[in-house]
Structure 1
């Protein structure tokens, strides 16, 4: 049977906001700028974003390759 709880005295299972380092934020920053900083360029989310861009690049590259050389795949 699987264990359902953390070991005793292991501390909280979340990172409290007070323990995180807060970056200096411009109070006049736009919503788009805040989204880019918090979701796109954030260090903890960057590897996943790079994977998404690589997958999207492969998808678009595959479409372009089939559209360009698709006629070569049909037996003559």
Structure 2
């Protein structure tokens, strides 16, 4: 019985080929808006960015809470 296998140079079958992302080339786009589109709002980078924002919110929220109610936390 003949062995059935993938064609030559097919690569492993357990992952898919990377999807091609269509780049937008708008000549009127500023560097800031291009940075926001490629680094902040990009789907593959969004979970990491949400983690960073959550950490910063907790950090600055803690500073705000201690400065506002810190004297009430000290027992005399």
TM-score, L = length of structure 1: 0.71
- Map of 1:20 onto structure 2: 20
Number of equivalent positions: 63
CA distance in 1, matches of 2:51, 2:42: 14
Question: Which aligned segments of 4 or more residues in structure 1 are displaced greater than 6 angstroms?
Answer: none
CA distance in 2, matches of 1:58, 1:64: 10
Please provide the CA RMSD for this pair: 1.8
CA distance in 2, matches of 1:42, 1:25: 16
- Map of 1:60 onto structure 2: 60
Structure 1 stretches lacking a partner, 5+ long: 1-8
Q: Deviations over 1:7-45 (max 9, x none)?
A: xx428xxx77xx512143312211101000000000000
Tell me which structure has the larger Cα radius of gyration: 2
